[in-house]
Every structure is written in C-alpha cells, then in structure tokens.
Amino acid sequence: MASHSDLANLIWQIADLLRGPYRPPQYERVMLPLVVLRRFDCVLADTKDKVLAEYERRKGGKLGDDALDRILNKASGHRFHNRSPLDFQKLKGDPDNIHSHLTSYINGFSANVRRIFDYFEFGSEIERMSEANILYLVIKSFCDVDLHPRVVPNEQMGLVFENLIRRFNELANETAGDHFTPREVIHLMVDLLFMEDNALLRQPGTVRTMLDPACGTGGMLAQAQSYMRRHNAAAKLYVYGQDYNKRAFATAASDMLMKEVDHNGGGENIQFGDTFTDDKFDERTFDYLIANPPFGVDWKKQQKEIQRESEKGFKGRFGAGLPRVNDGSLLFLQHMISKFEEVNPKAQKYGSRAAIVFSGSPLFTGGAGGGESEIRKWIIENDWLEAIVALPEQMFYNTGIGTYIWIVTNRKAKERKGKIQLVDARDTWIPMRRSQGDKRRKIGEGPALEVGDRADEPDQIADIVRLYGRFEANEKSKLFDNEDFGYTRVTVQRPLRLRYQMSVKDKARFLDAAPHLLDDIQAIDKAFGREPQLDWNAVWGNIEKLLKKRSSRWKAPEEKLFRTVFTVKDEKGAAVKKGSGFEADADLRDFENIPLKEDIDAYFKREVLPHVPDSWMDRTKDKVGYEINFNRHFYAFTPPRKLAEIDADLKKAEDEILRLLREVTE
C-alpha cells in the first residue's frame, strides 16, 4: 500500500500537466475537484451496475428528484450515487468529446454531489482545460490513480487531502490566518476534548454532536470521528461544520460524504456561509466544539451586522463585547459558547466542551474595559476557562508564531472549579525530517501510524494529555484561581502645579481675546508685578480680592482664559487646590493594574506612594480587566555568564579575526 505522501506526489505530478494555462497557485482549482471526483468514481465502482439498473427501472416515473435520489443512494450503499453510464475509464475512450462527457458525468451525480461541484466552480475549469487541449491528458492520467477504499482507506485519504491542501496553500502564499491545521495539533485537541468523557462515551447507544464553525476542509471533524471509532466504538459522534470559503467547503463536504461520516437526520452536516453573519446552526447546541479560526483576520466587512447583534446583549452571540476590527478570533469563541448545551444530567444534557486554537493576541490584547478584556472577563468569571496549552513555535505550515489551545467548558470537573490550568508544551516537539513551509517542528504522535511515519517517534501527545490530566503544579503545569488573572485598573492622579507670570507678550495675547478687560489687566499688572510666582492658589486669591474692590465680575470663560495665558506648568510650583483636594494634572495621569486579590489601598501605599508621594487614586474610574500573561507565569531566570568566560570568548574571537586578516594581507 502506497503512503499518503507517495499518492500526493503522484497526484502532484499530474498537476504539472497544467503548467502554462495555469500558474502553480491556480493548480488547486483543478486538482482538488478532480481528486474528489476520482475518489467518488472509485467508491461507487462496486455498485455502479446496480445503480444503473435501478435507474433504468425508475426513470420516467412519477418519483420526484429527492425521492429518486434516496432510492439510488440506497442502491449505491452510500449517501450519494452516479446514474450516468460513464466513469473515468469510459471517459478516456472518447478524446474528442471529453468536455461534454465529463460535464454529463458530473451531472449524473445525486444533488448533494452536484452542489459540491457547483461550489468548486469546476465547470469553468473544464472549459479552460478543454480550450488549452489538456483536459484529456489530465483525465487519462487520473485513471492511473487508484483511490478505491480498499487501496486507500478513509483515514489515509484524509492525509492525502492534508498533504495536497498544504502544498496548495504554500503556492498561494496564504496569510497566517488561512493555514491548514497540522494533524498532530488536531490529534491533541481531540484528545483534550474527550479526555473527561471516557465513562460516558463507553455507554452503548451514546450519541454526541460536534461543531466546527470554521471547518475549512473538515480535518478536525474527520479526526474527531476517527478517534471515536478507535476508542469508543459503542458511541456515535455526529459532526457539523460551516465555512465561507467555497473550495474549502466543497472539499469538506465531499470528504464527509466519502468517509461516510455519522450524521443525524437527512440535512447536510457541512454548511456554506459566513459564521458571523449567517449562522447555519442557529438555535442549536452541541456537546463538543472545535475550531482553528483565522489568526488576525479583520471583520470589517461584517462589522455592521456584528455590532447590530452585539447591541442585543446576551440575546445575541456577542453580548460580552467586541474585539478590535483587525482580529476576530474572540468572536469565534463567543459564537462557540453560544452553542453550549446546558448542564442537566436528568435530561441527559451534560454541558459542552470546546477546544480552539489562538495566537498569543487573545491572551492579553486590550486593556481593562476594552472588548478583548471584557470577553476574557466574561469567560473567566463564569468559570468556563478550564485550561490553556502553549504549543511550540514553527508548528504551522504558513506561520511560525506561537499558538495556544484554549479548553473552554461549562462542566468543569469538581476539582477544577474556580481554577485555570496553564500547560507549557512549548519545548515538547521533535524536528521535522523535512521542513514543510514554515512548519519545522511537530509534536510526536507515537510509533508509526502508516508507511513513511517515523517508527521511533515519541508519543509526546500522550505526555501532554497526562500532564494536563494530572492537574498538578510543576514547572510545566501551573494552577491558578480564576481571579489570579483579574486586576483593577485604578486611575492615579497627580496635582497640577502652575507658575504665574505676566509679560507684555501675554498681555497682548489676552487682550486680543478680551479687550474689554483692559483696565482690570492693567490693575493686576500694577498690583502684582511681572516676577514669576509659584503659588497659583495665592495669586488667584489676591486677584479675586482686587477684582472685588474694583466691582469687576469676570465670567468663567474669562477666568479660564486668564489662567491659560498667564500660567505654565512648573514642577516646583504649589499644587493647585480644588475643593477639599487638588486639581489633577491630565498630563501626569497614570494607571495602576492592581491584582484582584490585593487590597487596593494597601497596594497603593506599598507600591505607588513611596515612588510618587503626592499622588492619589481616583476610584470613580475603576475598571476590572483580565489578561493571561503566559510568559510571566513560566519565566525562568537564567543567571548571566561570568565575566571571565565572556572575556575568554571575546579573546578567541579577536584572535580569529587577526588570523583571517593576516591570511588576506600575506
């Protein structure tokens, strides 16, 4: 049996036939639909004659299209069929009419498959290849690729898709947010999702549901089903997904059909549409949710509709807050939480668990009162955040940034209630034998799964799951109370200090704005002179007395103008009084993030006043925020090297430079 890499390479060689009419980044438009089509062709081969015979008996009758599809699907033994007498081998028998025959063959599929090829927009590619005289060569070459399930089992077929999609993404130079999720990351996420439910899933007849709201090509859902079949064959997992990328949706939908994914009811389990603005699973809840949403992708196009739903509060999906427009990651998490099932064991409702991959940004971006912080606050104060696992860098095909798996649930185990676990798996990796784009590392999955895998690969995923499951504090696992990540953002004020001085230039400036006050200004100038004075409180008190003697009453704007023109800030000046306190200097305003567990007054006296003795707290502006600073909690101090060692290394470097210079000059 060929490995998935060998099969992908064989298919990749066929893609070279497209060179010329297509640029390499465009190969995906042809190759993914044809791989799907060839797989369907092989899957249906065993029951082809039975379907054709049933169609001959039924055609021209009174059955509607839907009823006929159901009957022919039953004859095929799958949830799809093809009623055309053509197949790949027959297609290559008539080179001159390959264009019309291929179109006719695709139109012979059941409605669900035809819809998939509509989303692939494959009709235009057939015309393009036909005009370039390469259509026959491509179809003929695909006839040599045997994708029958006996030769290429479902799981291996999924790996072929993974390999091809990864290569296509690299060619297209996709953004970091559009990468394909590596198999071992999905493996880890699925293990973490199901690890608490072994007893439940072993019960015969158990049915569970899973949603991926950014399903892409469906890899996460397929991996979850594979896990369930291996570990809990008595249970069924019905999976559902949604994506707005047409080709990704078409690939996922076809993959689900080919793998005979467990499915509840007659509707389609993979839906096309924008999750934010067109929720295809509205009013539904799920037992498990899983996603790798785009990193740092903006939601400007959907902004109006998302803001409108946010204004509904928690009657909508985004009541906790809205993140910045340039990163919609936390919108996906709010959407997933809106799909949580309530916890009511008597009604056989056991709550929900969600696993989602994020970059580092959702951990700490946004200050107290900001959208991201408010979302974190909502999740943590509701005790839904169970754990965060930090993954190694250079794990993804199109980005080398650090990534994190969040586990969010409304049914924490008893010992985890009120707690959050941070797991540091950043050093848990092995090098790739060959880099794949930006992916240079992987988490070991254990002994070889198939031909081509490393036989000596350590089972690092099991190590991480055990570390997670032990729920113990050590150098790689930290346990915190929920409120450890919260803080109060307190506004710290300092007094305004002014120096008063009158000058000819400033007088002219003031009188340009208020010429009717000339006599008063002249009197003030004569009475107080033009020397600088550092106590504005005393200066203005004396001016008020003078104006009262002159029976002159200034309006508030005039008083404000006088201070603006004739004073400047001076740190040596006296603090400007206001009521029973002091007026704050807006330029010196600062903020202090005080941990929720701290007594705010005690913290202020201990941490702030020794450094800024004349400051005070404005508690009317307090805001509570939440952030998760992963690096701070796992920081390990590395003592500096001894100076003697550094000097020795520098001496070696100098000697080497001198040696090289001598070689050049000799």
Q: Tell me, letter by letter, the H, E, C secondary structure of 2-60.
A: CCHHHHHHHHHHHHHHHECCECHHHCHHHHHHHHHHHHHHHHCHHHHHHHHHHHHHHCC
Q: How confident is the model at residue 514, as a pLDDT?
A: 95
Q: How confident is the model at residue 226, as a pLDDT?
A: 82
Q: How confident is the model at residue 266, as a pLDDT?
A: 46
Rounded mean pLDDT, 490-510 = 96
pTM of the model: 0.86
Tens of pLDDT, residues 595-609: 999 999 999 999 999
Rounded mean pLDDT, 242-262 = 78
- Interatomic CA distance for residues 17 and 11, integer angstroms: 11
Q: Are 371 and 418 within 8 A, CB to CB? A: no
Kindly give, in sequence order, each residue whose CB lies less than 8 Å from that of residue 625, ignoring residues fewer than 6 positions away: 366, 367, 368, 369, 370, 373, 376, 377, 486, 487, 488, 489, 593
Q: How confident is the model at residue 264, as a pLDDT?
A: 46
- The token duo for 664 is 């050049």
- Indicate the domain borders of the chain: 4-168, 174-485, 498-582
Rounded mean pLDDT, 564-574 = 96
Tens of pLDDT, residues 424-449: 999 999 998 888 778 889 999 887 55
Average pLDDT, the chain: 90
Beta-bridge partners for 236: 207
pLDDT tier, 2 (very low <50, low <70, confident <90, very high otherwise): low
Q: How confident is the model at residue 432, as a pLDDT?
A: 87
- Interatomic CA distance for residues 520 and 75, integer angstroms: 104
Q: 218 versus 429: which is more confidently predicted?
A: 429
Q: How confident is the model at residue 125, as a pLDDT?
A: 94
**CATH 1.10.3470 matches 4-168:** no
pLDDT tier, 259 (very low <50, low <70, confident <90, very high otherwise): low
Q: Is 505 helix (H, G, I), strand (E, B) or coil?
A: helix
Tens of pLDDT, residues 18-28: 999 998 888 88
Q: How confident is the model at residue 585, as a pLDDT?
A: 96
Q: How confident is the model at residue 666, as a pLDDT?
A: 67
Which region among 580-589, 602-611, 657-666 has the lowest average model confidence (pLDDT)? 657-666
Rounded mean pLDDT, 483-489 = 97
DSSP assigned state of 346: G
- Interatomic CA distance for residues 153 and 500, integer angstroms: 87
- Interatomic CA distance for residues 444 and 452, integer angstroms: 14
Residue 108 has pLDDT above 50, yes or no: yes
Q: How confident is the model at residue 132, as a pLDDT?
A: 93
Q: Which residues of 604-625 are buried (b: 16+ CB within 10 A; e: fewer)?
A: beeebeeeeeebbbeeeeebbb
Which region among 68-82, 137-151, 262-276, 377-391 has the lowest average model confidence (pLDDT)? 262-276
Which region among 144-148, 218-222, 384-388 has the lowest average model confidence (pLDDT)? 218-222
Share of the chain above pLDDT 70, in %: 94
Q: Are 352 and 340 within 8 A, CB to CB? A: yes
Q: How confident is the model at residue 173, as a pLDDT?
A: 52
Same fold yes or no, 4-168 and 174-485: no
pLDDT tier, 382 (very low <50, low <70, confident <90, very high otherwise): very high
Q: How confident is the model at residue 406, as a pLDDT?
A: 98
Q: How confident is the model at residue 635, as a pLDDT?
A: 83
Q: 666 versus 532: which is more confidently predicted?
A: 532
Residue 275 has pLDDT above 90, yes or no: yes
Residue 105 has pLDDT above 50, yes or no: yes
Q: How confident is the model at residue 73, as a pLDDT?
A: 92
> How would CATH label the architecture of 174-485?
3-Layer(aba) Sandwich (3.40)
Q: How confident is the model at residue 83, as a pLDDT?
A: 95
Residue 493 has pLDDT above 90, yes or no: yes
pLDDT tier, 526 (very low <50, low <70, confident <90, very high otherwise): very high
Closest CA to 367 of 379, 376, 359: 376
DSSP assigned state of 156: H
Q: How confident is the model at residue 591, as a pLDDT?
A: 95
Q: How confident is the model at residue 418, as a pLDDT?
A: 97
